[in-house]
Amino acid sequence: MVHYKAPLRDIRFVLEDLLDVYSRYKKLPGFEETTPDLVNAVFEEAAKFSEEVLTPLNAVGDTEGCQLIDGEVKTPTGFKEAYQEFVAGGWPTMEQPVEFGGQGLPLSIGLVIREMIGTANWAWGMYPGLSHGATVTIFDHGTDQQKDIYLKPLISGEWTGTMCLTEAHCGTDLGLLKTKAEPNDDGSYRISGSKIFISAGEHDLAENIVHIVLARLPNAPEGTKGISLFIVPKFVPGDDGSPGERNGVSCGSLEHKMGIHGNATCVLNFDDATGYMLGEPNKGLRSMFTFMNVARLGTGIQGLAHTELAFQNSLSYAKDRLAMRSLTGPKNTDGPADPIIVHPDVRRMLLTQKAFAEGGRVLIYFAGTLVDTVDKSTDPAKREEAENLLGFLTPIIKAFLTETGSESANLGMQCFGGHGYINEWGMEQNARDARIATLYEGTTGIQSLDLLGRKVLGSRGKLLKPVTAQIIAFCKEHRWNRDMRPFVIPLWKSVKRWKSLTRRIGFSALRNKDQVGAASVDYLMYSGYVLLGFIWAKSAYVAQQKLSSETSTDKDFYQAKIQTAEFYFAKILPRTATLEATIKSGSKSLMAMSEDNFTHH
């Protein structure tokens, strides 16, 4: 019974009113023809496909799951037909390079389409989603021959891609991986080893699967400095590029997961499989970061998707479900009880979901504009600025939005009360599907160490400074605006504390490096809450300007933006006070206990 309606009005607000993307596109070579009429027509069709084709398959995928039969994976009923329709419609080609069969739209537009698809059916959306990362990695690091062979079928959707990193004994610490790559006389390599947790690793949707695999050459240096990257196709392409003989890669088993059952998460065995080096020897991890960064943005979209799905369904339920009377008097006088949306605690849950969904949407779409700038700008300074900002934001997008996505999915269940854990409503599936997003592509803890250790302290504050400076400049610009003071004053104070906490952690880490690990997750969440505070303050300002315009339409829409911003500053941003206290508490309480004393015996 889960339903989804693409939030096209809010998408237009973010792209046009907040980010002014069409002015940006005019300054980027190749994007000048990206007009609102074109983009909105694409969004309308993407919404239709997501709502009518993919949403009904969401519960089907969860109930049926994938089946491994004689080494081949059968996807749930309707998945293959939906994928064929997806390919026939040209959807995989949208933001891909024109020279390889793509349509050349900005990535920021592609992210919107991926949000719609992912919210409608995350498990299905992962199949084409992983292909995008494989495409970008080959485009950035492949030889001309590799690009000629692999990019066109990947971009068209005839083939799909995967990312093969993890092994049973190593997840985040990839320096421990054991998969081997032995050179052949013809320049190819024999790949041998096993990879686990490979999403979309085997399926019946496309005629070939292109695995991007980390492996170790003979006599390679120990650790991460001895890792190389390889293309390992399921079927080795012939001279004409068509799939040839079956390669030595097979699905050993399907993982039994708590959620995302419609996507095949595989153990893949490589037995002298033919592979082709991608990039330079022993520099594979650096090349793989291209794929991993794309995947981290994609996982941020997953957090947004589960938030949006929870919000839409719990909102409609809260308007219909009758229970008790409002404490301020009956609101549904003709009925036996009031709809539960009148109760303050239900509104707390709904507004939390709404604030995270609409705020997170801005954060992800903004990141998309940064990718556009990195890819297309002719100004080296602007490219560097965008790349630095993207590097800073990526771990926050991945970790903060998946943590709030999991929180929102659980709030969605809570709004349904007892019906929330009954699977026919779809909310318990949404909660199960959301939970994995905080784990894969680097856990929240790993993303937090990346943010605080590498991006902030590692750059000596260089990457943080322009972010805080931009927020403070906004606060100064609007500090005398009476309507904006409820937003800019607490936001300004939060940014000052953000800078102070950063200095405090940096100084304490000089004496004890465990202080970084002790503070990192709280620091990332603090950063996320402040960034969303900035987004909501800007959203409120734009909405105020729209309401004061004589030609303004959608007054209820803009009023809701202001009221959601008021809620965020009253009920969500104050979470930073607790995080400030826990950050300041340091590592002592974490590290004092001996390992033996952890036992309860």
* Number of structural domains the chain divides into: 2
Beta-bridge mates of residue 216: 180
Residues 577 and 526 in one domain: yes
Residues 305 and 428 in one domain: yes
- The mean pLDDT value for 1-5 works out to 94
Is residue 479 situated within a structural domain? yes
- The mean pLDDT value for 100-126 works out to 97
CA-to-CA distance for 3 and 540, rounded, in angstroms?
29
**Residue 291 pLDDT > 70:** no
Is residue 146 situated within a structural domain? no
Is residue 371 situated within a structural domain? yes
Model pTM score? 0.97
Residues 471 and 446 in one domain: no
Tens-place pLDDT, residues 52-95? 999 999 999 999 999 999 999 999 999 999 999 999 999 999 99
Tens-place pLDDT, residues 188-226? 999 999 999 999 999 999 999 999 999 999 999 999 899
pLDDT at residue 354 in the model = 98
Residues 504 and 430 in one domain: no
pLDDT at residue 294 in the model = 77
**Rg of the chain on CA atoms, in Å:** 25
Residues 351 and 500 in one domain: no
Distances in Å between the alpha carbon of 594 and those of 126, 587, 588, 597, 600? 42, 14, 12, 5, 13
Q: Which string of b and e fits 226-245 if b means at least 16 CB within 10 Å?
A: bbbbbbbbbbbbeeeeebee
Residues 304 and 390 in one domain: yes
Residues 428 and 489 in one domain: no
Is residue 67 situated within a structural domain? no
CA-to-CA distance for 155 and 4, rounded, in angstroms?
27
Q: How many CA atoms lie within 13 A of 531 on its CB side?
A: 28
Residues 415 and 506 in one domain: no
Q: Of 422, 451, 480, which closes a domain?
A: 451
Q: Which residues are catalytic?
A: 441
State the residue for tokens 């390079």: 97
pLDDT at residue 583 in the model = 98
**Residue 549 pLDDT > 90:** no
Residues 434 and 500 in one domain: no
pLDDT at residue 285 in the model = 84
Is residue 207 situated within a structural domain? no
Domain span including residue 359: 288-451
Is residue 216 situated within a structural domain? no
Closest among 309, 288, 260, 250 to 115, alpha carbons compared: 309
Q: Of 451, 486, 516, which closes a domain?
A: 451
Determine what percent of the chain is predicted with pLDDT higher than 70: 100
CATH of the domain at 333: 1.20.140.10
Residues 532 and 478 in one domain: yes
Closest among 481, 482, 487 to 539, alpha carbons compared: 487
Is residue 243 situated within a structural domain? no
Which amino acid belongs to residue 387?
E
Residues 425 and 518 in one domain: no
Assess contact for 308 and 357: CB atoms under 8 A.
Answer: yes
Of 224 and 14, more confident: 14
Tens-place pLDDT, residues 431-470? 999 999 999 989 999 999 999 999 999 999 999 999 999 9
Residues 304 and 361 in one domain: yes
Is residue 391 situated within a structural domain? yes
Q: Of 401, 424, 451, which closes a domain?
A: 451
